[in-house]
A and B are shown apart, each in its own frame.
Chain A
Amino acid sequence: MSYLHAPRLIFTGDFLSDVSTVNNDPAHYNNNTFQPNFQEPGQGATNGWWNPEGGAVFDFQNCSVKQLFLPDGTTQASPSDDIIIGQAVVGAEGRPTGKMVDLDPDAQTYSALWCVQIRICTANGDLLFKGDIATTSFRDLQPRQLAGAKRNGQPLGATWTSVITNITWGEAAEKSAFLRTLRATTQGNMLAINMNPFGYYYNHNDGRFSLGRIIGSIGPYFEGEPLTFSPSRRLYGIYQAPNAQRTYFSISNFLVEQDQKRVSVDFGASMPVSDPLGTVTYNQDLRLAVSKVPQAGFISEYTQAYYILPEDMVEIGAMNYQSDPNWLNQTGGIVSFSDLPDETMDTLRSNQLLLVAPSDSVPGHFVIIAREAIDGLVARADNFVLRLDCGEALKVDFYAYRWGVPLPNETISISLQPPTPDTPLSASNPISVVYGNNFPADGLAFQGQITTDGQGKAQMPLTGNAIHSPRVYIDGQIYSINYQTATVDPAFGPENLVVHLRDYFQALPNPVWDDISEIMTQYSNLYPIMSKYVANLADPYALIEKKHIMLFAFSRDINDTMHMPVTRDLSDAKRNTILNWLNNPQITGSPTVQKGLSQLAATNPAVPGTAPTKKQAEYIEAVKQKNGSFPGFRDVLNLFENL
């Protein structure tokens, strides 16, 4: 993925995300304990969080092309330079908007875009190009906001990386030199796209409820590269100001182009912002450099800052962001240094890039704000968010790079995370027992170790076995599978795959209502927008009345934006049973006993109260922030305090 390659364009604006939130609480999936007030807005266990009537709409709003970066290293930002500059970046027209949905209530940090179209036209409405953004999920969640997070509610930002497919080039595209070059450079009639959402409003403030800011870049795609992350080198934050509680500049991609003697670093996903709109008001001296000595520092309770002497690094240059508070929105946060000296480029071949700042507390030194991955090693899974029916097999693609070059013969170890415990009823969990994840372990079969081939690529087969309601009232199970190379960089940690394995269910050719009533009642509970405004999904007569549209929606392909369920969390067997019922609705009659129900559901091997792993604890905190219920986030008054 080459969104950092030239030519690339930067767009900035807002995104609308009308995600639904009753399903943010796993206990709300229990039909037996569901209460109508769970569909009302409100925090805490007994309410439906901040947008219970959400419809999962995702769309671009107020987005426009801000600037272009050309192969010769120059930047264009004036509409007189190219007709695409200043044009609106919009979503679909004549078909429904895209959708944004979670994988599961137990996997809420992988919010995915589905069926999002992106279009750019001239001011007259003549098409320049349009295409479909392939489904992609959040990666690299990181703290973004220094101040004002209480106004919007969500202090984190994330990244969506993907490819644009099904591209249509308008006739007017010929009038844009930029697009001509892009079209000639890209491969496979696809484009690479990276989008960094942040500053999202849960709160009804500033007229921006359900809006967030988004910074995007579009560049050429090169065949054979991953689809959901950039095959670039990466910087990880290793500095934490005493008043900050968190590490900023956590994750940044960068590209080294030896032929152009160029380094392009993308701070679009990591640059701390002073407000939800992406304004940057601090003016810290920040510089890029290459370390001559290996750096392995990471934030721990013992060390929050690492220092380097000027003689131990080759300085590249300063980030010139201070002159314009709107710098991030204008540039996308990507800084490029071209025509670098040979010494710098040579050093970069096998040494770590750094983001540094002159130290106040250790005179003559620099603080390392962020450093490149240890040994320049980046190994990631491409299709890392997986929906799997039992009996289904698929392959997970892995890619490994060292110093930005594909890394053959690298071993990647893959292991299931330990089971998480059930949460019994208590004052803090008042609705229902919430069942744990990652069990039964034999629900998934996969290879525990794989080795990359000559192109630095490896595939891991993954098969779903039959499981029988380990979470009792939530279909299937969530499995988090860690993967790592021999050495794990503690500044980033191991990454994971996340799998929603659906329950075993035998599709029924002639179902009666009670074969599907529990499923439909759950959707009715969780998605009041449907039951309130379209049809009460829990009422068979209402479904019969709306049979045509229900058949229409439940039979759409998963890559059709109108697919039901919008959450895309139903196994084919269950969905086909619903379709069979709609085609021949039988209201009375005894349900078929599913084979699985006669078997014992797996017991959770984790004892209640088992402490989460570090990664599991991070997930729990991220979900709290997502739901706007994290009370501890306070403004960071000075990110660069006591450098």
Chain B
Amino acid sequence: MLQIDSKYVEKALTANALEELYPLLQNAVELEHSTIPPYLTAMFSLKPGTNPVQRQIIHSIVIEEMLHMTIAANILNALGGTPSIDHADFVPEYPGPLPMGIGKGLIVGLEKYSTDVVKNVFMEIEEPENPLVFKSLTLAAMPTFSTIGQFYQAIQKKIDELAPDELPGDKSKQVTSSFFPADELFPIYTKQNAIDAINIIIEQGEGTSTSPLDQEDELAHYYRFEELYKGKRLVKNPDAPNGYSFSGPDIPFTPDNVFPLFPNTKTSMLPAGSEELNRMNEFNTSYYSLLAGLHVTFNGQPGNLDNTVGVMYDLKLTAQKLCGTAFPGKSGYTIGPSFEFIVPAGS
């Protein structure tokens, strides 16, 4: 995971009351969300029916980011805080930095899939505290920056210190879903629930300190992206240092089967009165509807999560159609989903 401004870790470590953790957990919810639009844009740019492994890997990571966002919101609710999702500050401006000053200014945009984007953006986002190096690479120097993993650990430590065993939040606000295993997404009623849940976020993102696998024996995000970058599956190899090497099956990639999205497409780039603008507005209306739906879900109506799953499909279908639509006036490009926070009239 990425390096973040150490002040957030310090804030967590110096908290004297649970309330001081609320803004930090809100930051966490925002951070987990902020990675989803770049990942989804890359995934939607893969032409339907092609590049299946790329799609599958990104999809698996997006699902886990959604899980992490849900966990972070559940913890915030469990501590008595209030997740806030339906406001303009929740959505980063792309291209731009992610929340919490992450990555010393790593600029993250919304671009089509490419191995460059995987290497230079996605792997940067997901870089572990201490990346395991397989095969030819040498261990990098120990990082001197705080990481998002350390940030979560600091929150975990403070919850352990400050919270009562039974957490004070309204239990009816906890969100669970049949789409996630109960041992990954569970209601957070107790301090131990919160500690366990944070471990899931850290390990799914980072792997453990000795293995690229997380608790569920799945590759952590960084290593899944690294597979795409190297075009090879990472497999167990007793002869290799750390027990793994990129010596598995090839992961074929056909660059021609990626829609040429105009990088960081914005609504304002589309001609007024055009069908393409209508489609983009439709997309952003779905995006707003999704955020508004999630806000309601995390603020006392957990049953609405199912409805937001439906909105995600509306959003996905509109986005994928956009990706296949020629960009008016920009020869050779198609339209990327802009993920802009635009409050529709009437909301």
| A16 within 8 Å of B (CB atoms) | yes
A204 within 8 A of B: yes
A57 interfacial contact with B, CB 8 Å: yes
| A121–B346 touching, CB < 8 Å | yes
Mask: chain B, 292-313; 1 = CB below 8 Å from A; 0 = not = 1111110000001011111101
Judged by a CB distance under 8 angstroms, whether A301 is at the interface is: no
B310 and A562 form a contact (CB under 8 A): yes
Given A208-B275, A532-B48, check contact A94 B179 (CB 8 Å): no
| A532 adjacent to B49 (CB under 8 Å) | yes
Stretch from A83-91, A147-155, A477-485 at the B interface: A83-91
A residues 105-150 near B (Cβ < 8 Å) are: 119-121, 125
* Chain B, range 266-283, C-beta contacts under 8 Å to A: 273-275, 277-278, 282
**With A53-B321, A552-B306 given, is the CB distance from A93 to B313 under 8 Å?**
no
Complex contacts, A561 vs chain B, CB 8 Å:
310
Number of A-B contacts (CB under 8 A): 92
Instruction: Indicate the member of A88, A94, A209 with the most B CB atoms within 10 Å.
Output: A94
Cα A548 to Cα B313 with chains together (Å): 14
Residue of A nearest to B344 (CB): A90
User: Are A94 and B346 in contact, with the CB atoms below 8 A?
Assistant: no
Indicate whether B77 reaches chain A with its CB closer than 8 angstroms.
no
Q: Do the beta carbons of A89 and B311 come within 8 Å of each other?
A: no
Counting CB contacts under 8 A, is A607 at the interface? no
Asked if residues A119 and B274 are in contact (CB atoms below 8 Å), the reply is no
B196 at interface (Cβ–Cβ under 8 A)? no
Quick one: CB contact mask for A453-469 with B, threshold 8 Å, 1 for yes? 00000000000000000
Interface presence of B107 (CB below 8 A): no
Is B313 a contact partner of A534 (Cβ separation < 8 A)?
yes
Q: Is the CB of B304 within 8 A of A95?
A: yes
B322 CB to nearest chain A CB (Å): 12
Q: Does B314 lie within 8 Å of A16, measured CB to CB?
A: no
Residue A276 interfacial (CB < 8 Å)? no
The answer on a CB contact under 8 Å between B346 and A90 is: yes
Question: Does A529 sit at the interface, judged by CB under 8 A?
Answer: yes
Whether A558 sits at the interface, judged by CB under 8 Å, is: no
Q: Are B317 and A533 in contact (CB under 8 A)?
A: yes
List the A side residues contacting B320 at CB < 8 Å.
533
Q: Is residue B70 within 8 Å, beta carbon to beta carbon, of the partner chain?
A: no
Complex interface: chain A residues within 8 A of B296 (CB): 94
- Contact across chains for A94 and B311 when beta carbons are under 8 A apart: yes
A207 touches which of B49, B277, B307, B316 (Cβ 8 Å): B277
One of A96, A204, A206 near B313 (C-beta < 8 A): A96
Q: In the complex the two chains form, what is the Cα distance from A97 to B344 in whole Å?
A: 14
**Chain B residues whose C-beta falls within 8 Å of the C-beta of A534 in the assembled complex:** 313, 317
Tell me whether A88 and B345 are in contact in the complex, defined as CB-CB below 8 angstroms, given that A94-B296, A533-B317 are known contacts: yes
Asked if B254 is at the interface (CB within 8 A of a chain A CB), the reply is no
* B343 close to chain A: CB less than 8 A: yes
**Other-chain contact of A96, B48, B282, B288, B314 (Cβ < 8 Å):** B314
**Does A125 lie within 8 Å of B343, measured CB to CB?**
yes
B164 to chain A, nearest CB (A): 33
Say if the beta carbon of A211 comes within 8 Å of chain B. yes
Report whether B293 and A94 are in contact in the complex, using a CB–CB cutoff of 8 Å.
Answer: yes
B289 within 8 A of A: yes
B178 contacts the other chain (CB 8 A)? yes
Closest Cβ of chain A to B54, distance in Å, is: 15
Let me know if A55 is at the binding interface, CB within 8 A: yes
B293 touches A207 (CB 8 A): no
Q: With the chains together, A51 CA to B273 CA distance in Å?
A: 20
A92 CB–B CB distance under 8 Å: yes
Q: Is the CB of B49 within 8 A of A125?
A: no
Q: Which of A57, A119, A207, A529 contacts B275 (CB 8 A)?
A: A207
Tell me if B's interface is mostly helix, strand, loop or mixed.
helix
Least CB distance from A614 to B in Å reads 39
Contact B289 A93 (CB under 8 A): yes
Q: Is the CB of A92 within 8 A of B48?
A: no
Task: Establish whether residues B346 and A87, one from each chain, have CB atoms under 8 Å apart when the complex forms.
Answer: yes
A97/B275 in contact, CB under 8 A = no
Residues of A within 8 A of B282 (CB): 16, 59
User: What chain A residues lie within 8 Å of B347 (beta carbons)?
Assistant: 90, 93, 121, 125
A548 to chain B, nearest CB (A): 6
In whole angstroms, how far apart are the Cα atoms of A549 and B309 in the complex? 9
CA of A359 to CA of B306, assembled, Å? 61
| Interface contact A90-B345, CB-CB below 8 Å | yes
Cβ A57 vs Cβ B289 within 8 A: no
Output the residue of B49, B317, B320, B344 with the most chain A CB within 10 A. B317
Which partner residue on chain A sits nearest B49 by CB separation? A532
> For residue A125, which residues in chain B have a CB less than 8 angstroms away from its CB?
343, 346-347
A349: min CB distance to chain B, Å: 43
A97–B314 alpha-carbon span in the complex (Å): 8
Within 8 A of B (CB), among A67-97: 87-90, 92-97
Contacts of A96 in B (CB 8 A): 307, 310-311, 313-314
- Across the interface, name the chain A residue whose C-beta is closest to B347: A125
Chain A residues, CB < 8 A from B344: 88, 90
B-chain residues with CB within 8 Å of residue A204 when the two chains form the complex = 275
A120-B314 in contact (CB<8A): no
Q: Bound state CA distance, A92 and B285, in angstroms?
A: 10
For the complex, what is the distance from the CA of A549 to the CA of B317, rounded to whole Å?
15
A119 touches B314 (CB 8 A): no
Please tell me if the beta carbons of A95 and B311 are within 8 angstroms of each other in the complex: yes
Cα separation A209 to B285 with both chains bound (whole Å): 18
Task: Compute how far the CA of A61 lies from the CA of B344 in the bound complex, rounded to whole angstroms.
Answer: 10
Q: A207-B273, A534-B313 are in contact. Are A92 and B346 (CB under 8 A)?
A: no
Q: Is B317 a contact of A548 with CB atoms below 8 Å? A: no
Chain B contacts for A552, CB-based, 8 A? 178-179, 306, 309
Residues of B within 8 A of A548 (CB): 178-179
- Min Cβ gap B175→A in Å is 14
- Give chain B nearest CB distance to A108 CB in angstroms: 23
Q: Which residue of B lies closest to A201 (CB)?
A: B275
On whether the beta carbons of B346 and A88 are closer than 8 Å, the reply is yes
Assess the A211–B278 pair: CB atoms within 8 A. Answer: yes
Q: Are B345 and A529 in contact (CB under 8 A)?
A: no
Given the complex of chains A and B, what is the CA–CA distance between A532 and B178 in angstroms? Answer: 25
Q: Name the residue of chain A whose CB is nearest to the CB of B315.
A: A96
Contact of A95 among B288, B295, B310 (CB under 8 A): B310
| 59-93 of chain B: CB within 8 A of chain A | none
Residue of B nearest to A92 (CB): B289
Nearest Cβ in chain A — how far from B346, in angstroms?
3
Residue of A nearest to B271 (CB): A207
Within 8 A of A (CB), among B151-210: 178-179
Q: Can you list 5 A-B contacts (CB < 8 A)? A: A94-B289, A94-B304, A95-B293, A95-B310, A208-B275
Knowing that A59-B282, A207-B277, A548-B178 touch, tell me 8 more A-B residue pairs with CB under 8 angstroms: A57-B314, A93-B293, A93-B347, A95-B293, A97-B314, A125-B346, A552-B179, A562-B306
- On A, residues with C-beta under 8 Å from B are 16, 53, 55, 57, 59, 61, 64, 87-90, 92-97, 119-121, 125, 204, 206-209, 211, 529, 532-534, 548-549, 552, 561-562
Which 5 residue pairs across A and B have the least CB separation, nearest first? A94-B293, A88-B346, A95-B307, A96-B310, A90-B346
